[in-house]
Amino acid sequence: MVGEARRNLEAKFPGALDDFKVLMKQVEVPTGASGLLRTQIAPDLPEKDRPVLAASIHHRCRILLTGDKTHFGPLYGQTIEGVEIHSPASLAIKLGR
């Protein structure tokens, strides 16, 4: 996931890479199996995106940051199983940036 974020920044916002590197020093990236996400938790989330939310819940992340507005957009601003789902813009607002 970190690699995908880096590639997206390189392609769309290369000037933000230095900020990304600074932020990543403050982020713990969990590894390991995460299990399955029960359909009832996010019924409209496509199958390919369910492991992302499942991993966030499993690893007890406080925030899931995703720019995937198409699939996660309806969940922006919601807290699911303890995980707040944010777009980059909504997280920046939350953090007062």
Quick: pLDDT tens for 57-92: 988 999 999 989 999 999 999 999 999 999 989 998
- CA-CA-CA-CA torsion sign (84, 28, 19, 66): negative
Distance separating alpha carbons of residues 13 and 16, to the nearest angstrom = 6
Residue 83 near residue 56 (C-beta atoms within 8 A): yes
pLDDT over 90 at 30, yes or no: no
Average pLDDT, the chain: 87
Give me the pLDDT at residue 38, please: 82
Structure tokens at 40: 């009832």
Answer for the pair 55, 38: CB distance below 8 angstroms, yes or no. Answer: no
Residue type at 6 in one-letter notation: R
- The whole-angstrom separation of Cα 89 and Cα 37 is 26
